[in-house]
Structure 1
Amino acid sequence: MAELTTEAEPEEGGPKEDRHFVTALARGLAVLACFGRGRRMLANHDIAEACGLPRSTVSRLTYTLTKLGYLQFVEESGKYALGAQTIALGSMALGGLDVRHIARPALRAVAQAANASVGLGVRDRLSMRYVDCQRGPAAISLNLDIGSRISLARSAMGRAYIAVCSDRERTALYEELKAYDPLAWPALRTGLDRAVEEHREIGCCTSFGEWQTTVSAIAVGFHPGGGLPPMSINCGAPTVITDARFLMDVARPKLIEAVRGLEGVMGT
C-alpha cells in the first residue's frame, strides 16, 4: 500500500467579531481534532504547537476534557489519548449516517471496476473527512481510510463538495480560505471556480497531482437528502498505476452513474 499521508489543515475558522461564537468551545474541539491517524497520543506541548495556543491554555483544556471523559491521560507516556466519550460520540455520529451503508455496494463496485480507491466524504471545516472507503484489487493504493482528512480546496473530493454546496456556503468557505492563506488564495480561487464549472460540464471534479503530486483523482458531489449536508465520492489512485486518462475515460462514467443512484436517497 502506498504510504501517502494527509496534509495539515486549518483547524479553526470562527470569526472573532461574531459575538455568538464561543471561543473556548472552539478551542476544546480543536484539541480533540488534533488526534487521528499517526497522532493517537499527544502531550500538551504537541497540542499547543498544533493548535497555535499557549501551553497554559492547552493544559486547562486537556484537564477539562479529561475530567469529562473526552480525553484520557496515559501516565506511562505522560501523554493524552482520546477517551471513551469521544469514541462513543464518533460511533453514534457514524451510526447515524445510514447513507454509508446504502452507498457501500456502489462504492465497492466502482473500486473494483476502476481498480482504485473510492471514498465517501463530508466536509469537516476546511477539510474533507472520509466516512467510508472501498479499495480495488490493486497492490498499491492510497493510504486513506475512515476518519482521514484531506484538503478541501485541492482535492477532487473537496472541490466536488464545493461544486454542489449552496452559493451562500460557497461564499463563506471562500472567505475562510482567503483569510487562512491570503497569498495562496488567488490560485486556489481560480482552481475552485474551474472545478465548479468542470462539475457542471463533465459531471465531476478533478485533481491530478494538485493535492499530492503522486495522486490522480476525480470526484462527484451529491445531496443525499434526509437533512444531511452535501457529500462527495472520489475515485483515485497513485499515478504509477492509474493515469488521468483512465480515470476520465473508464472510471468517470461509472462514478457518475453510481452517484446518481444516491441523489436524494435518504428522502426529504
Structure 2
Amino acid sequence: MSDFVTEVAGEDRHFVTALARGLSVLACFGPGRTSLANQDIAESCGLPRSTVSRLTHTLTRLGYLQHLPESGRYRLGTATIALSSAALGGLDVRAIARPALRAVAEAANASVGLGVRDGLSMRYVDCHRGPAAIALNLDTGSRISLARSAMGRAYVAVCPERERERIYEDLKALDPVAWPSLRAGLDRAVAEHREIGCCTSFGDWQETVCAIGVGFDPGGGLPMMSVNCGAPSVITDARFLMEVARPRLIAAVRSLDGVMGA
C-alpha cells in the first residue's frame, strides 16, 4: 500500500499523501480483522509504526477509530457508521436487485453477491446464500481480489476503457512479477464476458472456489457494478455453474442494467 501511495503521489501534485495513508488505515479493518494493533496496521499498510501511531491517534480523536485500553488495539469507531450508511443508502439498486439475486442463489444453491470496485479490490454491498450447508464466508462489506475473482473480472470487463487501463497500470506497479499472469487472466475475462456473457474464476481466487460473474451499468450516476455466483467446489463445479447458473445470472443482471436511470 505504501509503495502504491508513494507512486501515485509522485505522479499527481493534487494527491494528499497523508489523507491516503489515513484512509488506508481504515481499509485494514474488515471481517476477521475487527480489532488491530498498530503493528498489525503497519504491516498491512507498509508504513513505519511511528507513522501508524500518529494516524491511529488522529483517527481516534476524530471518532473514526476506537482505542481498546485493555488490549492496546483499535477497532472502527462510530464515525465510520455514518459514512457506510450514507454510501449504502445511495445504492438503491440493492433493494431492486434483491428478489432476482435471491432467486439465483436458491436455484443455483450458491452464494450470489453484488459488488462495487474498491481500489484494487471488490467490495460486497449485498449478499445472498442458497440452502447449501457449506457456503462462502463472505458478507456485506467483505473485500475480494479485483484481478482474480469472477466479480472483479466482470467489473474490469464492463468498465470504461480508460479506467481499465489505469487498473492495469496500478496492478502492474503493485506486483510486476505477478502482472503477466494477472494480465492474461483479465484479458481472457474481457473476451469471455463479450462472448459468453460472463467471466469465470475456477480456482483462480481460491483453489477450492468456483464462481462466475456478470458486470453491468446500473445508471443514475452510480458506478459500474458486478454480480457473482459461486460456491465451494465440494458443492458445485464449473460445469453446473456454466450450464445451470449462468443463464439465470445473466437474465437477472440484464434486468438491472440501466435500472437506476429509467
Class of the TM-score when normalised by the shorter of the 2 chains: over 0.9
Whether 2:32 is the aligned partner of 1:38: answer yes
Alignment match of 2:201 (pick from 207, 210, 218): 207
Cα distance, 1:76–1:61 mapped onto 2, change above 3 Å: same
Output one character per residue of 1:25-83: Cα deviation in whole Å (capped at 9) or x when no partner: 00000000111111111111111111111111111111111111101111111111111
Whether 2:183 is the aligned partner of 1:194: answer no
Alignment match, 1:89: 83
Shift of 1:22: 0.6
Moved more, 192-201 or 69-78: 69-78
Q: Which runs of 4+ in 1 moved over 6 A?
A: none
SS at match of 2:40: helix
How do residues 141-160 of structure 1 correspond to structure 2 at under 5 angstroms?
141-160=135-154
| Distance in 1 (alpha carbons) for counterparts of 2:181 and 2:37 | 36
More helix by share: 2
| Distance in 2 (alpha carbons) for counterparts of 1:42 and 1:29 | 15
| Distance in 2 (alpha carbons) for counterparts of 1:156 and 1:12 | 27
| Distance in 2 (alpha carbons) for counterparts of 1:251 and 1:11 | 40
Cα distance, 1:182–1:46 mapped onto 2, change above 3 Å: same
Letter aligned with residue 92 of structure 1? A
How do residues 119-158 of structure 1 correspond to structure 2 at under 5 angstroms?
119-158=113-152
Shift of 1:175: 0.2
SS at match of 2:113: strand
SS at match of 2:226: strand
Letter aligned with residue 16 of structure 1? A
SS at match of 2:259: coil
SS at match of 2:124: strand
Cα distance, 1:264–1:13 mapped onto 2, change above 3 Å: farther
Letter aligned with residue 52 of structure 2? V
Letter aligned with residue 52 of structure 1? G
Structure 2: segments with no counterpart, 5+ residues: none
Shift of 1:16: 2.6
Alpha-carbon RMSD across the aligned residues, in angstroms, is 1.1
Give TM-score, length-normalised by structure 2.
0.97
Cα distance, 1:192–1:219 mapped onto 2, change above 3 Å: same
Letter aligned with residue 237 of structure 1? A
Letter aligned with residue 242 of structure 1? T
Letter aligned with residue 257 of structure 1? A
Aligned length: 259
| Distance in 2 (alpha carbons) for counterparts of 1:168 and 1:13 | 19
Alignment match, 1:4: none
SS at match of 1:213: coil
Alignment match of 1:16 (pick from 9, 19, 22): 9
Shift of 1:95: 1.3
Give TM-score, length-normalised by structure 1.
0.94
Cα distance, 1:11–1:265 mapped onto 2, change above 3 Å: farther
Cα distance, 1:206–1:16 mapped onto 2, change above 3 Å: same
Contact 1:11 1:126 in 2 (8 A): no
% identity of equivalent residues: 78
Shift of 1:88: 1.8
Cα distance, 1:12–1:133 mapped onto 2, change above 3 Å: farther
Alignment match, 2:158: 164
